[in-house]
Amino acid sequence: MLIFAALIVISFTFYIFYKVRFYRTHLPMEKKWLSAKSQVALGLFVALFGVNQLFLYQTTMTYVVTAIFTLVGGLSIFGGFKAYKFYLPLAIEEAEHTAKSS
């Protein structure tokens, strides 16, 4: 399916984008916040890749691989989203403190 292929490419692009931003920043809470965002993007990539395989092939092995990829991707999305919500206020506070110090 073309829509899954496009979403896979977009999610992988966001993963690369957030990883580049992760290595360019020096603020610790912002690093953790960006890492959480990249974890969500990578989880989305893995889950969409698994679901895409389901539409390409209909074998028993594909169903197993799809279930594993979707489960791993879903858990990665869930963990990344929880970390994102936790680190967002801390990153905002850190950015405000850094702006006041400058």
| Cα–chain center distance at 65 | 20
Enter the pTM of the model. Answer: 0.90
Residue 16: predicted pLDDT: 97
Residues of the chain with pLDDT under 70: 102
Q: Give me the pLDDT at residue 56, please.
A: 87
Contact in structure between 69 and 56 (CB atoms under 8 Å)? no
Token output for 45:
């990539």
What pLDDT, on a 0 to 100 scale, did the predictor assign at position 100?
Answer: 86
